[in-house]
């Protein structure tokens, strides 16, 4: 008799084994996976996991997304759906109700747009399962998904220079400068490798199979500084991703957002110092009762001391105050600011659309409507049109 063997799935960065037609997660590391595998072989399951289980549906959906969508799209769904799966590991897909999804997102402190994205992820998953015939109807069809927040963070030259003054390492500065000067997508800067670089024509070229739409090749043209950065990184990393952090690991979306949050906190704390604001003992005392009184140390649950609770409360209040005083930057904000600058400087919309990688130039009119509200820009364009 031939026993099923563990196998490694690169897309999930984990080991699996297939038993009774069901793919079972064994673990992230090989030793962990082998220990789990031996346990399963010693104690075989009495029956296979039903095909209608929520875990099976999510796993099948992620496999489909991995085969048919961009890597960033797959990561977007994986991150959120794995959280939902951990919250409801034993539930059948047909048992999911809108109140389950609402309870799930309520466990996190999420902004409106993030809440929307969490709810969209599980709703889209079950909608896909319905279309594929895995379930008869979408149990989350009636789930209300909030609209996204309208966030038009435009960064001026002065604000960009101020942002750069808070960057503490060259690796992040390289990523920020290249995005600011080229308007590339985050998924492009985080994925570009030496093989994508066309030094002769000062550009990155992603083949159609690696572009966002998968219909045409994506070309990112480089400024002199962006080309200089690219050459330096090609010499340092001839294989693999070019943009890496100080630990020589490729930047991820979470790592980039973490770096931006750190910058935001430093900016906000400086603003707090300049304003002379302080966190009062009364504010700290009011927050302490709402904190978790237990901490995990050495694998054990231990009570926090009053000093630890007060320090945690002060830390959280400082974070909240700093977040209100400093803007929330992102790579997409840099990309949109690049497009706004290009249009304001008179670059024709078709060229801007091509440089940004938009297949449909009408995207510019939808995304950059704020330019129509800029009287100086519109007056300048009117005079230019008049001749």
Domain assignment of residue 68, yes or no: yes
- HEC letters along the chain: CCCCCCEEECCCCEEEEEECCEEEEEECCHHHHHHHHHHHHHCCCCCCCCCCEHHHHHHHHHHHHHHHCCHHHHHHHHHHHHHHHHHCCCCEHHHCCHHHHHHHHHCCCCCHHHHHHHHHHHHHHHHHHHHHCCCCCCCCCCCCCCCCCCCCCCCCHHHHHHHHCCCCCHHHHHHHHHHHHHCCCHHHHCCCEHHHEECCCCEEEECHHHCCCCCCCEEEECCHHHHHHHHHHHHHCCCCECCECCCCCECCHHHHHHHHHHHHHHHHHHHHHHHCCCCCHHHHHHHHHHCCCEEEECCEEEECCHHHHHHHHHHHHHHHHHHHHCCCCCHHHHHHHHHHHHHHCCCCHHHHHHHHCCCCCHHHHHHCHHHHHCHHHHHHHHHHHHC
Q: What is the pLDDT of residue 363?
A: 61
Instruction: Please report the pLDDT score of residue 3 as a whole number.
Output: 55
Last residue of a domain, one of 325, 354, 376: 325
Q: What is the mean pLDDT of residues 233-241?
A: 96
- Compute the distance between CA of residue 24 and CA of residue 11 in angstroms, rounded to an integer: 15
On whether residue 142 sits in a domain, the answer given is no
* pTM: predicted TM-score of the whole model, two decimal places: 0.64
- Domain containing residue 70: CATH number: 1.10.150
Q: In terms of Cα–Cα distance, which of 341, 330, 329 is closest to 370?
A: 341
Q: Are residues 321 and 296 in the same domain?
A: yes
Could you list the residue range(s) of the whole structural domain that residue 196 is in?
157-253
Which of 329, 310, 319, 322 has its CA nearest to residue 257? 329
In this structure, is residue 38 part of a structural domain?
yes
How many domains are contained in the chain? 5
In this structure, are residues 319 and 272 in contact, taking their beta carbons and an 8 Å threshold?
Answer: no
For residue 370, is pLDDT > 60? Answer: no
**Pair 169, 105 in one domain:** no
Same domain, 245 and 165: yes
pLDDT at 208: 87
Determine, yes or no, domain membership for 49.
Answer: no
Residue 87 lies in a domain: yes
Q: What pLDDT does residue 68 have?
A: 84
**Inside any domain, residue 149:** no
Instruction: Give the best-scoring range by mean pLDDT among 168-182, 252-266, 317-331.
Output: 168-182
Question: 192 lies in a domain?
Answer: yes
CA distance 7 to 201: 42
pLDDT class of 174 with cuts at 50, 70, 90: very high
- For strand 22-27 and strand 14-19, is the pairing parallel, antiparallel, or unpaired? antiparallel
Please tell me whether residues 30 and 59 are part of one structural domain.
no
Residues 246 and 194 in one domain: yes
Give yes or no for a contact between 26 and 33, defined as CB atoms under 8 angstroms apart: yes
Q: How confident is the model over 287-307, as pLDDT tens digits?
A: 998 888 888 777 778 899 999
Tell me: pLDDT of 46 over 50: no
Would the CA dihedral through 253, 254, 259, 262 be positive or negative? positive
23 and 104, same domain (yes or no): no
- Note the pLDDT of residue 150: 57
Instruction: Kindly report the average pLDDT of the chain as a whole number.
Output: 85
Residues 277 and 242 in one domain: no
CATH at 173:
1.10.443.10
Most confident of 35-44, 69-78, 261-270, 288-297: 261-270
d(CA 175, CA 168): 13
Q: What is the pLDDT of residue 47?
A: 41
Strands 218-221 and 203-206: antiparallel
Q: Are residues 187 and 224 in the same domain?
A: yes
The phi-psi region of residue 234 (left if phi > 0; otherwise alpha if psi is between -120 and 50; otherwise beta) is alpha
Q: Choose the final residue of a domain: 231, 253, 275.
A: 253
Do 109 and 182 have their domain in common?
Answer: no
Least confident of 38-47, 83-92, 328-337: 38-47
CA 119 – CA 117 distance, rounded (Å) = 5
Q: 27 in the Ramachandran plot: left (φ > 0), alpha (ψ -120 to 50) or beta?
A: left
Q: How many CB atoms lie within 10 A of CB 138?
A: 19
* Distance, CA of 252 to CA of 258 (rounded, Å): 10
Higher pLDDT, 46 or 267: 267
114: how many CB neighbours lie within 10 A of its CB?
15
Tokens of 329: 């930057």
pLDDT of residue 105: 92
Residue 247 and residue 161 share a domain: yes
Provide the b/e sequence for 33-47 (b: ≥16 CB within 10 Å).
beebbeebeeeeeee
Q: Is residue 122 part of a domain?
A: yes
281 with 318, same domain?
yes
């Amino acid at each position: 008799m031939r026993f099923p063997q563990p196998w490694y799935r690169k897309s999930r960065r984990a080991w699996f084994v297939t038993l009774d037609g069901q793919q079972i997660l064994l673990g992230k590391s090989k030793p962990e996976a082998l220990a789990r595998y031996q346990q399963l072989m010693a104690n075989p399951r009495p029956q296979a996991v039903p095909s209608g289980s929520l875990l099976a549906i999510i796993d099948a959906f992620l496999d489909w997304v991995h085969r048919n969508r961009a890597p960033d799209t797959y990561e977007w769904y994986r991150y959120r759906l794995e959280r939902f799966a951990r919250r409801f590991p034993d539930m059948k897909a047909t048992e999911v109700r809108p109140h389950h999804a609402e309870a799930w997102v309520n466990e996190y402190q999420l902004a409106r747009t993030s809440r929307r994205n969490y709810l969209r992820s599980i709703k889209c998953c079950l909608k896909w399962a319905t279309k594929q015939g895995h379930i008869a109807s979408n149990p989350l069809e009636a789930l209300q998904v909030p609209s996204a927040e309208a966030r038009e963070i435009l960064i001026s030259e002065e604000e960009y220079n101020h942002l750069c003054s808070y960057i503490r390492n060259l690796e992040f500065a390289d990523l920020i400068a290249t995005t600011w000067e080229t308007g590339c997508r985050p998924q492009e800067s985080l994925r570009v490798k030496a093989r994508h670089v066309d030094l002769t024509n000062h550009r990155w070229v992603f083949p159609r199979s690696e572009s966002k739409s998968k219909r045409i090749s994506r070309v990112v043209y480089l400024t002199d500084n962006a080309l200089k950065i690219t050459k330096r990184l090609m010499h340092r990393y001839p294989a693999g991703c070019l943009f890496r952090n100080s630990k020589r690991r490729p930047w991820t979306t979470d790592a980039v957002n973490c770096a931006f949050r750190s910058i935001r906190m430093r900016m906000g704390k400086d603003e707090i110092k300049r304003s002379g604001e302080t966190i009062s003992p009364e504010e700290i005392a009011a927050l302490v009762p709402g904190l978790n009184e237990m901490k995990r140390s050495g694998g054990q649950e231990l009570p926090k001391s009053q000093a630890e609770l007060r320090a945690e409360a002060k830390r959280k209040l400082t974070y909240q105050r700093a977040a209100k005083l400093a803007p929330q930057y992102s790579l997409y904000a840099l990309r949109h600011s690049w497009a706004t600058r290009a249009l304001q400087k008179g670059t024709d919309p078709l060229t801007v659309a091509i440089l940004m990688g938009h297949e449909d130039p009408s995207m510019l009119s939808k995304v950059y409507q704020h330019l129509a509200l800029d009287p100086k820009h519109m007056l300048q364009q009117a005079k230019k049109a008049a001749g």
